[in-house]
Structures are given as structure tokens and as C-alpha cells.
Structure 1
Amino acid sequence: MLIRRETPADRAAIHALHSEAFRREAGVTPVEAPLVDELRADGDLLAPLSLVAVRDGVVVGHVCCSRARLGGDPAAAVGLGPLGVLPAHQASGVGSALMHAVLGAADALGHGLVVLLGNPAYYTRFGFGTASDLAITAPDPQWGRHFQARTLAAYEPTQAGAFEYAPAFSRI
């Protein structure tokens, strides 16, 4: 398996991948597929942090980070997600490989925090914890412990406050 940055040639495969990975109902496109398209169209998808997993020439997984604001600072944190893996490749290490790669890349690029909304049982293995423990306020208080953050090397305790995802998240 190869983990690499997405290219323009991957865009249709990424859309299809998220459509399959998050499908809840036949014939209904899950919000994660157009979300990636909208983040990209708005210029909020961070190209160095939009990674694909490729097996035998096929894109089988994708993860991305987008611009965010934390306490009014547009550079304090990035929002992670969606993370998707084709159903036939789930539970085979693809998602974990993508998470390790995107966290390493975000750290190397000097980001201090990565924030996401997800299942604590999955994301704690990557060092995520409840965002409120770092004085980060969720856009929706009902998210509770599902709203998580992971500090990186450039983290400063002053990086706190209200978190805002890129505008595309509000449109889904």
C-alpha cells in the first residue's frame, strides 16, 4: 500500500470512495462525499494534508485536513475529516496508516493541533482526547466527548477557545 498526496486525477475516486465508505441508505449520497468537494472548491482543503491510500493502483482510502479557526486564530488548528476507507478494505490497517501519515505531515508542517468529530474508541489510539480538556469549545455542545483534539509539537497552551470548522461543514 502506498500513502501519497491526492492529485487532480484522484478526485472522482475520492468522491466515490466516501460515497461507499459512509453509505447509510441505498441511492443516497452521504454528506462526506460532497463535503470534500466543497472544501476543495472553497480553497479550504489543505493540499499537503489530503492523502490517499493506494493498493494495486486503486484508491482505497482518503483522509484530509482543512482550514479552521480556534479562538479567532486561523493558524492554531486544522480540522481532520473525513477519513474514509472502501468497505472491502476496512479493518485492514488502511485507516490507521492514513491517520499516522496525516498526523505526521501536520506535525512536520508546524500545526499545533488537529481537531475532529469522531468515535473516541477509534481515535484515542492516535493520541486524541476530549477537546474540552484542552479548553477547546465545540461548535455544538452536544458533541461532548466525540469532539476531540490531538496536540502536535508546535502546540502552545494558549491555543484554546471556540473552534470553527471551514464553512463547508456548516453547509452539510
Structure 2
Amino acid sequence: MLIRRETPADQAAIHAVHSEAFRREEGVTPIEAPLVDDLRAEGDLIAALSLVAVRDGEVAGHVCCSRARLGGDPAAAVGLGPLGVLSAHQGSGVGAALMHAVLAAADALGYGLVVLLGEPAYYARFGFTAAAELSIVSPDPSWGKYFQARTLAAYEPTQAGAFEYAPALARI
């Protein structure tokens, strides 16, 4: 398996990955697929943090991070998501490899935090905890424990306050 940055040639495959990975109802495109397209079109997708997993020459998974604001600081944190893996590759380590790679890349870029909305039982193994424990205020209080954050090397305890996703994420 190869983890690399997305290229323009990957965009249709990325859309297909999220369409399949998040499909809840046949014939209905899940919001995660056009969300990545919107983040990219609006300039909020961070190119260095949009990664694909390639297995047997096929894009098997994708993860991305987008611009965010934390307590008014546009450089402190990024919003992670979506993370999608084709069903044929789920449970084989593709998602974990993508998570490790994107966290390492965000760390290398000097961000202090990665924030996401997701299942605590899955994301705890990557070091995520409830964002509220780090004094990060969720855009929606009903998200509770599902709104999570992970500190990186550049984290400072002053990186706290209200978290704002990129507009495309905030619209969903």
C-alpha cells in the first residue's frame, strides 16, 4: 500500500471512495462525497493534508484536513475529515495508515491540534480525546464526546476556545 498526496487525477476516485464508504441509502449520494469537492473548490482543503491510499493501483481510501479557526487563530488547528475507505479494503489497515500519515503530516506542518467529529471508540487509538477536555468549544454542543481533538508537537495550552470549521463543513 502506498500513501501519497492526492493529485488532480485522483479527484473522481476520491469522490467514489466517499460515495461508497458513507452510503446509507442506495441511489443517494452521501454528503461526504461532495463535501471534499466543495472544500477543494473553496480553497479550504489543505493540499499537503489530502492523502490517498493506493492498493493494487486503485485509490482504496482518502483522508483530508481543511482550514479551521480556533479561538480566532487560523493557524492553530485543522479540521480532519472525512476519512473514507472502500468497503473491499475496510478492516485491512487502510484507514489506520491514512490516519497515521495525516497526523504526522499535520505535525510536520506545525499545527498544534487536529480536530474531528467521529466515533470515540475508533479515534481514541490515534490519541484523540474529547475536545472539551482541552477547552475547545464545539460548534454544536449536542456533539458532546464525538467532537474530539488530538494535540501535536506545536500544541500550546493557550490554543483553546471556539472552534470553527471551514464553511463547507459548517454548512452540513
TM value normalised by structure 2: 0.99
Deviation at 1:169, TM superposition (A): 1.1
Aligned to 1:51: 51
Q: For residues 126 and 78 of structure 2, what CA distance do their matches in structure 1 show?
A: 16
Aligned to 2:21: 21
SS at 2:73's partner residue? coil
> Could you list the per-position Cα deviations for residues 52-97 of structure 1 after superposition, in whole angstroms to 9, with x for gaps in the alignment?
0000110000000000000011111000000000011001000000
Percent sequence identity over matched residues?
83
- Which 4+ stretches in 1 moved above 3 angstroms? none
SS at 1:30's partner residue? coil
Aligned to 1:165: 165
Q: For residues 44 and 149 of structure 1, what CA distance do their matches in structure 2 show?
A: 19
Q: For residues 9 and 91 of structure 1, what CA distance do their matches in structure 2 show?
A: 26
SS at 1:73's partner residue? coil
Amino acid at match of 2:114: V
SS at 1:148's partner residue? strand
Matches within 5 A, 1:73-92: 73-92=73-92
Q: For residues 102 and 82 of structure 2, what CA distance do their matches in structure 1 show?
A: 12
What is the Cα-based RMSD across aligned positions, in Å?
0.5
Aligned to 1:134: 134
> Could you list the per-position Cα deviations for residues 85-125 of structure 1 after superposition, in whole angstroms to 9, with x for gaps in the alignment?
00110010000000000000000110000000000000000
Amino acid at match of 2:74: P
Aligned to 1:154: 154
Q: For residues 20 and 130 of structure 2, what CA distance do their matches in structure 1 show?
A: 28
Q: For residues 147 and 23 of structure 1, what CA distance do their matches in structure 2 show?
A: 22
Q: For residues 49 and 37 of structure 2, what CA distance do their matches in structure 1 show?
A: 15
Deviation at 1:171, TM superposition (A): 2.4
Amino acid at match of 1:147: F
SS at 2:63's partner residue? strand
Q: For residues 72 and 29 of structure 1, what CA distance do their matches in structure 2 show?
A: 33
Q: For residues 66 and 39 of structure 2, what CA distance do their matches in structure 1 show?
A: 7
Amino acid at match of 2:129: G
Q: For residues 45 and 119 of structure 2, what CA distance do their matches in structure 1 show?
A: 22
Gaps of 5+ in 1: none
Contact 2:164 2:170 in 1 (8 A): no
TM value normalised by structure 1: 0.99
Q: For residues 93 and 15 of structure 1, what CA distance do their matches in structure 2 show?
A: 20
SS at 2:68's partner residue? strand
